[in-house]
């Protein structure tokens, strides 16, 4: 069963004005739950694996797992995407292992802790994009550093997060720089920084425009209306999942995520890919805790996994519906990576300047 590329899917999303959640996976249960939600809503799917996921499950396992999922759910086209690639080797080895899309995150240096210079980011993203496009794979770049506008810090628990204090300038993508970045790197999608951060502890209160800058997205979209924007750190950290965890022995301090209605607003302003990991983790952990707490004699792992999968499925269904992904799967005719490579080579997929940006 052939996977599709991120570029093909996001072009379709842009033409039809919808967004696509990109869910992180590490194991079969997460994959099954996401695909069941996609099947129930007739949605195309982005499954993404971090470097941590690749070392947890193994590249061969991940590839065959995703191939198996796409064989089980043939109607729901799947993109397999590398999340936060830190260098050429991570991105190219992902493609060798069947990924159809990679994120080259040059906003940070290879250690994924040190904010990188603009020149470094341009150079590595352009280089990876040339190599990926030669074989038809898609590339997401990142400009601006993910982190909290409240504290100036990136989430400590995350595998890819800046260390130290970040300035407001670093935390908000500059729209003019974004135009230059996309034109010079030719990346297919652009992750932007607007005050979201990875993990559960994004905001200490329900975010307003001071700490979640949707205006930044609007300004970038105004200058780059043809570029697919990506929102990272876009879990909503729903109260019901915090409550589920805490009612069953958890001790998560009160926290706030990105409200789904802000993401819906973003989708109207050119956001096409919405990264979600924490919400699915919380759904799974909440149900594990509930089973452990309510049935202390239970020892069959499936009795933990089944409600966990149901909880993830419900969350994913909601996001597919609210982002407008639902009902789109049947409308996509897969384009092979070889054909995508030819389209790139012809220049047909080169980034387009907006009319208001032409020299």
Ligand X SMILES: O=C[C@H](O)COP(=O)(O)O
Check: CB of residue 311 under 8 Å from CB of residue 286. yes
Applying CB under 6 A, the span of 4-12, 47-55, 125-133, 321-329 interacting with ligand X comes to 47-55
Applying CB under 6 A, the span of 28-36, 213-221, 229-237, 350-358 interacting with ligand 13P comes to 229-237
**Nearest to Zn ion of 84, 290 (CB atom):** 84
**Nearest to ligand 13P of 144, 233 (CB atom):** 233
CA nearest neighbour of 334 among 142, 62, 78: 78
User: From residue 72, how far is each of 36, 66, 307, 317 by CA, in Å?
Assistant: 10, 10, 21, 18
Q: Which two tokens stand for residue 158?
A: 């995350």
Applying CB under 6 A, the span of 59-67, 137-145, 230-238, 246-254 interacting with ligand 13P comes to 230-238
State yes or no: residue 277 binds ligand 13P (CB under 6 A). yes
How many angstroms separate the CA atoms of 346 and 177, rounded? 26
State yes or no: residue 198 binds ligand 13P (CB under 6 A). yes
Q: Please state the closest distance from residue 74 (CB atom) to ligand 13P, in A.
A: 27
Q: Please state the closest distance from residue 213 (CB atom) to ligand 13P, in A.
A: 16
How many angstroms separate the CA atoms of 232 and 72, rounded? 28
**Nearest to ligand 13P of 179, 271 (CB atom):** 271
Q: How many CB atoms lie within 10 A of CB 127?
A: 15
**Nearest to Zn ion of 201, 288 (CB atom):** 201
Please report how many Cα atoms fall inside a 13 Å half-sphere around the Cα of residue 309, on the Cβ side. 17
CB-neighbour burial class of residue 359 (10 A; exposed 0-12, middle 13-18, buried 19+) = exposed
Options 43, 101, 121, 275; binder of ligand 13P; rule CB under 6 A: 275
**Residue 108 β-bridge partners:** 115
**Nearest to ligand 13P of 282, 291 (CB atom):** 282
Options 29, 53, 65, 83; binder of ligand 13P; rule CB under 6 A: 83
Judged by CB under 6 A, the chain residues 176 through 215 that form the site for ligand X are 198
Q: Please state the closest distance from residue 338 (CB atom) to ligand X, in A.
A: 30
Residue 97: alpha-carbon gap to chain centroid: 19
Across 83-104, b (16+ Cβ under 10 Å) vs e yields bbbbbbebbbebbebebbbbbb
How many angstroms separate the CA atoms of 221 and 260, rounded? 19
How many angstroms separate the CA atoms of 296 and 31, rounded? 27
Partner from Zn ion, ligand X, ligand 13P, none contacting 142, C-beta within 5 to 8 A by type: Zn ion
At residue 147, φ and ψ (nearest 5 deg) are 175, 170
Q: Please state the closest distance from residue 39 (CB atom) to ligand 13P, in A.
A: 22
Partner from ligand 13P, ligand X, Zn ion, none contacting 105, C-beta within 5 to 8 A by type: Zn ion
**Nearest to ligand 13P of 90, 235 (CB atom):** 235
Tracing tokens 């958890």 back to the chain, one arrives at 250
59 among known catalytic residues: no
Residue nearest to ligand X (CB): 159
Applying CB under 6 A, the span of 67-75, 91-99, 153-161, 176-184 interacting with ligand X comes to 153-161
Instruction: Report the SS3 class of residue 133.
Output: helix
Binding residues for dihydroxyacetone phosphate: 199, 233-235, 275-278
Residues that bind ligand 13P (CB under 6 A): 24, 83-84, 198-199, 232-235, 275-278
Catalytic amino acids? Answer: 83
């Amino acid at each position: 069963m052939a996977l599709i590329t991120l570029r093909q899917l996001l072009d379709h999303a842009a033409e039809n004005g919808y967004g696509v959640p990109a869910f992180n996976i590490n194991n079969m249960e997460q994959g099954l739950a996401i695909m069941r939600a996609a099947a129930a809503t007739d949605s195309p799917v982005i499954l993404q694996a971090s470097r941590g996921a690749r070392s947890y499950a193994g590249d061969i396992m991940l590839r065959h797992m995703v191939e198996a999922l796409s064989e089980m759910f043939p109607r729901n086209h799947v993109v397999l995407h590398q999340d936060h690639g830190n260098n050429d080797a991570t991105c190219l080895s992902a493609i060798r292992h069947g990924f159809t899309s990679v994120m080259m995150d040059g906003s940070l240096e290879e250690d994924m802790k040190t904010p990188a210079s603009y020149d470094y980011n341009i150079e590595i993203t352009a280089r990876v994009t040339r190599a990926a496009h030669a074989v038809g794979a898609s590339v997401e770049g990142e400009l601006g550093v993910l982190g909290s506008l409240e504290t100036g810090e990136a989430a400590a628990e995350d595998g890819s997060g800046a260390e130290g204090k970040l300035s407001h300038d670093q935390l908000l993508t500059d729209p003019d720089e974004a135009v230059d970045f996309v034109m010079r790197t030719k990346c297919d999608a652009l992750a932007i920084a607007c005050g979201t951060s990875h993990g559960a502890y994004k905001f200490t209160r329900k975010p307003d425009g001071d700490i979640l800058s949707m205006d930044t997205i609007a300004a970038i979209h105004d200058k780059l209306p043809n570029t697919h924007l990506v929102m990272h750190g876009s879990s909503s950290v729903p109260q019901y999942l915090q409550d589920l965890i805490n009612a069953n022995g958890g001790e998560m301090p009160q926290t706030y995520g990105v409200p789904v209605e802000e993401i819906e607003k973003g989708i109207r302003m050119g956001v096409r890919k919405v990264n979600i990991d924490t919400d699915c983790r919380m759904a799974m952990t909440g149900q594990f805790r509930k089973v452990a707490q309510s049935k202390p004699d239970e020892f069959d792992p499936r009795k933990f996994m089944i409600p966990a999968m149901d909880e993830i499925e419900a969350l994913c269904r909601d996001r597919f519906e609210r982002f407008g992904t639902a009902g789109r799967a049947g409308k996509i005719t897969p384009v092979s990576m070889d054909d995508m490579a030819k389209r790139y080579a012809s220049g047909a997929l080169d980034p387009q300047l907006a009319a208001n940006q032409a020299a």
